[in-house]
């Protein structure tokens, strides 16, 4: 057998990210005409009409490269967030922001502190770059701040997902403040706020206020969730220019395409869509929590657009049986939670559909 080039040794420790199943895949596999997809934390309301119109208008210029700096979007978003444009960095989704952070700051052997369970991309990024992820178990499904502070001594970075994926729990203002104040100023403190716009808890931190006093902080956000742009990939970081400079050295030349920039700008003008998304999620989250508990299951309180629930049996098996009924959820094995599943909040009809499907599956095992 002919020799081929060997991949990097670091890849042996990296588990590739497997996204949630697509509706198209499930429809084709099970010969279905309709699928309820509640496994990927997408906005169930579909695209805003304003975004559709903006993307259509931008089509006539797709033969031209986009603005590599996303300058107009940066100015619009900076005004909204009350920061300066130079405090913003845009990339091809929040995951690409994380990749740029790793490429810019992580060296082989660096220690990276993460919660467990949390978004798996943080630990995988560390492993890919030869850094060492240090997992700090959650306490009662919430970040253990004292343990993370203790573990952060000598670390290069600390990653927290707030609200946390997959648990939906949050770090409160005083907890995040403790973390950034007690962590080493030489450690990057990355606060991933992909789900922040769904939160209604008044204790949720003012992270931008903290960032102004702690220049080692980075806030990561996205247009994929409440703004409904998961298919166009626009993520961004808020940080001091001294942090963003190295990110600009490692980013791609045109990280956010022309259509995505147009859609993101339009989404900033559509407060009605964002409010409708928020209210749909708040009501749906309450409904799912009650309905899942009524089935004898254990849903965790959530501040995101999903609920983590203990199914009391193999979540993978339940998820497989739900697929045949046209319902997609996310089993928890990738987080080391084999009996748990993460269910995205959908529309009222979708929420009722997943509850009814679960009731049928759980009584016929």
Per residue in 297-336, pLDDT (tens digit) is 999 999 999 999 999 999 999 999 999 999 999 999 999 9
In the predicted structure, residue 71 carries a pLDDT above the cut 60: yes
Least confident segment among 34-38, 134-138, 276-280 = 34-38
State how far the alpha carbon of 201 is from the alpha carbons of 10, 23, 80, 168, 204, in Å.
Answer: 40, 32, 21, 12, 6
Tell me, what's the pLDDT at 203?
A: 97
Please tell me whether residue 19 adopts helix, strand or coil conformation.
Answer: coil
Kindly state the tokens that stand for 105.
């700051």
Kindly state the tokens that stand for 330.
């996310």
Domain ranges of the chain: 12-46+271-362, 49-267
Architecture (CATH level 2) of domain 49-267 = 3-Layer(aba) Sandwich (3.40)
Direct distance between the N- and C-terminal alpha carbons of the chain, in angstroms, rounded to an integer: 47
Contact indicator for 225, 198 with CB cutoff of 8 Å: yes
- Model-level pTM? 0.94
Tally the C-alpha atoms within 13 A of residue 139's C-alpha that lie toward its C-beta: 7
Which CATH code for domain 12-46+271-362?
3.90.1150.10
Least confident segment among 1-15, 95-109, 149-163 = 1-15
- Ramachandran region, residue 130 (left: φ > 0; alpha: ψ -120 to 50; beta: rest): left
């Amino acid at each position: 057998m002919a020799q081929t080039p060997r991949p990097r040794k670091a890849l042996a420790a990296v588990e590739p990210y497997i996204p949630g199943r697509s509706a198209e895949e499930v429809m084709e596999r099970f010969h279905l005409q309709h699928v309820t997809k509640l496994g990927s934390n997408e906005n169930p309301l579909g695209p805003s009409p304003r975004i559709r119109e903006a993307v259509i208008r931008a089509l006539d210029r797709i033969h031209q490269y986009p603005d590599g700096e996303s300058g107009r979007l940066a100015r619009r978003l900076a005004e909204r967030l009350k920061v300066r444009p130079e405090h913003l960095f845009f990339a091809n989704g929040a995951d690409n922001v994380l990749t740029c952070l790793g490429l810019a700051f992580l060296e082989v052997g660096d220690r990276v502190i993460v919660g467990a369970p949390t978004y798996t991309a943080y630990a995988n990024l560390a492993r890919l770059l030869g850094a060492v992820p240090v997992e700090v178990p959650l306490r009662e499904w919430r970040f253990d701040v004292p343990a993370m502070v203790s573990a952060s001594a000598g670390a290069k970075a600390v990653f927290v997902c707030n609200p946390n994926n997959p648990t939906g729990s949050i770090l409160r203002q005083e907890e995040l403040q403790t973390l950034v104040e007690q962590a080493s100023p030489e450690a990057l403190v990355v606060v991933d706020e992909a789900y922040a716009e769904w939160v209604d808890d008044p204790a949720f931190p003012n992270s931008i206020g903290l960032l102004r006093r702690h220049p080692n902080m980075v806030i990561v956000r996205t247009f994929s969730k409440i703004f409904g742009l998961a298919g166009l990939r626009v993520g961004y970081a808020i940080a001091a220019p001294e942090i963003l400079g190295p990110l600009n050295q490692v980013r791609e030349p045109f990280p956010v395409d022309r259509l995505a920039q147009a859609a993101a700008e339009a989404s900033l003008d559509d407060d009605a869509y964002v409010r409708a998304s928020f209210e749909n999620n708040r009501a749906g989250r309450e409904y799912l929590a009650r309905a899942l508990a009524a089935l004898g299951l254990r849903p965790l309180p959530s501040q995101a657009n999903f609920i983590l629930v203990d199914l009391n049996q193999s979540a993978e098996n339940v998820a497989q049986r739900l697929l045949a009924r046209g319902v997609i959820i996310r089993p928890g094995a990738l987080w080391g939670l084999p009996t748990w599943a993460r269910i995205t909040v959908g529309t009222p009809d979708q929420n009722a559909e997943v509850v009814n499907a679960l009731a049928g599956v759980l009584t016929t095992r």
